[in-house]
Amino acid sequence: MTRAAWAERAINKLPMALGSDSVDAKAAIKLVEAEHKRAVRVVKKEIKWQEARIAEGQQAHNADGEAMHNYALQVVHDILAALQKGRK
């Protein structure tokens, strides 16, 4: 997991707008888009992990573990749908 101060460090690395002490808007947009892509990748990785745990639960005939991972899988699918809502 990323430390909480990642945003401040990332913004401090962005170029400043000409004649101003504020961050260049185009650079800030790129930063937000990059973070969104990272979030989508993290959620997709979690989906694969949960699917693997479900398969393990099925092989072990562990209904409780399988049900728990099915619920978690539904949650991460909901997160992914929220992240991708409105994307082009």
Percent of the chain at pLDDT exceeding 70: 85
> Is a pLDDT exceeding 80 seen at residue 6?
no
Counting every residue written for the chain, the total comes to: 88
SS3 23: strand
Top-confidence range, 5-19, 24-38, 39-53 = 39-53
Phi, psi of 77 (to 5 degrees): -65, -40
Q: What band does 71 get if pLDDT is binned at 50, 70 and 90? A: very high
Kindly calculate the radius of gyration of the chain based on its CA atoms and give it in whole angstroms: 19
DSSP 8-state symbol, 16: B
pLDDT tens-digit readout, 17-27 = 666 777 778 88
Distance of CA 78 to the CA centre of its chain: 12
pTM of the entire structure? 0.71
